[in-house]
């Protein structure tokens, strides 16, 4: 077996090589570097890929040469456009040690019957953070801190008329993937009154089999019933801007929207209007439509918003552990033929 790994400044080649060797100790492993001048440059290129897809950044020439006779391609953020997929005439699997798939042409891989597998390296960290944002927004923790830093002993807030304990609040989770499931469990664990969820790909039977403390409902019921709504959706052409005027209009005027997924799933203009008009109680955002966010962004001027600079997944051990986590997911798939981490599994089976 030949495995080609493409490392970068954030997930270096040596970590990917270790993961490749854990798949097959006898494999020929070839390492290629996706060059980056600095972490700042990496972030710029990563954002470009997230916005514009796998053709937005250049692939190292060596990758095309090495993938020609490779069985497996493992990468972190190096793009995998259609021409790289086509160059890999013997490819049997493509893996990436991150959750987002914007840098990979999944359709091209599917057309070649190649499974594409990923891993959610920061699921625990992001779910922790989502719960933290719920407390921060509903109980004014960040706003109280900011006021004290300015010498103000503040007791009056936009939500002062309806502030209550978490045990009185229903949590609504939109998207029951790895992170959404953890948020549901943790929401129940901190004593929230009920956890409801909407995911068009998950049934109540599946939830019950997994022992999740969740009641599945339709989208409109979730938005009209929940006191806190936490978004855990992928940004796709179908989900872009789907949380807009219609769904925000279903929310209670005392309800909070929490987003640690992708800003693009929310219609920004509709959200700003709902917050300004106080038709929803507030929101907490760790993601923005443009990052870094501009100082004159209207979101920052609102008093019923908690914001943070895309920090939900930033823990020291998520990145270095991600290649081995990916390798475990690949092994599970090879052993069982099943995996919820193979993003095109249904397409391959059809």
**Taking 90 as the threshold, does the pLDDT of residue 316 lie above it?**
no
pLDDT of residue 36: 81
Q: Does 335 share its domain with 275?
A: no
Is pLDDT of 236 > 90? no
Q: What are phi and psi of 81, to 5 degrees?
A: -75, 175
Query: Do 214 and 286 share a domain, yes or no?
Result: yes
* Mean pLDDT within 148-174: 97
Active site residues: 262, 291, 310
Is residue 350 over pLDDT 80? no
* DSSP annotation of 341: T
pLDDT reported for residue 120: 87
Average pLDDT, the chain: 95
- List pLDDT tens digits, range 119-151: 988 899 999 999 999 999 999 999 999 999 999
Are 80 and 154 found together in one domain? Answer: no
pLDDT of residue 189: 97
- In this structure, the answer to whether residues 70 and 127 fall within a common structural domain is no
Q: State which residues form the domain around 54.
A: 2-121+315-349
Separation CA 218–CA 200 (nearest Å): 8
129 and 117 assigned to the same domain: no
Q: Which of 55-64, 88-97, 226-235, 339-348 has the lowest mean pLDDT?
A: 339-348
Check whether 349 has a pLDDT greater than 90: no
CATH (domain of 210): 3.40.50.720
Q: Compute the distance between CA of residue 178 and CA of residue 122 in angstroms, rounded to an integer.
A: 10
Number of H helices, E strands in the chain: 14, 12
Give the residue-averaged pLDDT of 253-276.
Answer: 97
Model confidence pLDDT, tens digit, residues 208-223: 999 999 999 999 999 9
| Contacts with 55 (C-beta within 8 Å, 6 or more apart), sequence order | 79, 81
Three-state SS for 149? helix
Cα separation, 312 vs 294, in Å, equals 19
Number of domains in the chain: 2
Q: Is 335 helix (H, G, I), strand (E, B) or coil?
A: helix
């Amino acid at each position: 077996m030949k495995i080609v790994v493409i490392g970068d400044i954030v997930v270096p080649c040596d970590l990917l090589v270790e993961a490749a060797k854990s798949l097959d100790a006898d494999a020929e492993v070839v390492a290629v570097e996706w060059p980056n001048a600095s972490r700042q440059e990496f972030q710029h290129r990563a954002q470009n890929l997230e916005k514009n897809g796998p053709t937005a950044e250049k692939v190292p020439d060596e990758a095309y040469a090495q993938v020609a006779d490779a069985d497996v391609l493992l990468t972190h953020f190096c793009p995998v456009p259609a021409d790289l997929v086509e160059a890999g005439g013997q490819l049997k699997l493509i893996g990436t040690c991150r959750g987002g798939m914007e840098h990979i042409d999944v359709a091209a891989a599917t057309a070649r019957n190649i499974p594409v597998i990923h891993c959610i390296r920061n699921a625990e960290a992001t779910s922790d953070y989502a719960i933290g944002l719920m407390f921060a927004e509903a109980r004014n923790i960040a706003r109280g801190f900011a006021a004290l830093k300015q010498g103000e002993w503040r007791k009056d807030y936009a939500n002062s008329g309806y502030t209550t304990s978490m045990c009185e609040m229903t949590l609504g989770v939109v998207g029951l993937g790895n992170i959404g499931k953890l948020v549901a469990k943790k929401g129940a664990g901190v004593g929230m009154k009920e956890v409801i969820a909407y995911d068009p790909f998950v049934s109540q039977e599946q939830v019950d089999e997994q022992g999740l403390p969740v009641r599945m409902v339709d989208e409109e019921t979730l938005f009209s019933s929940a006191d806190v709504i936490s978004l855990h959706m992928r940004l796709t052409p179908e989900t872009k801007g789907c949380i807009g005027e219609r769904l925000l209009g279903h929310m209670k005027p005392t309800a909070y929207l929490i987003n640690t997924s992708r800003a693009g799933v929310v219609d920004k203009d509709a959200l700003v209007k709902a917050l300004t008009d106080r038709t929803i109680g507030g929101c907490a955002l760790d993601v923005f439509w443009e990052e870094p966010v501009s100082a004159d962004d209207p979101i920052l001027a609102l008093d019923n918003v908690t914001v943070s600079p895309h920090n939900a997944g930033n823990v020291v051990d998520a990145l270095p552990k991600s290649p081995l986590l990916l390798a475990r997911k690949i092994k599970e798939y090879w052993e069982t033929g099943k995996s919820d981490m193979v993003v095109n599994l249904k397409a391959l089976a059809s």
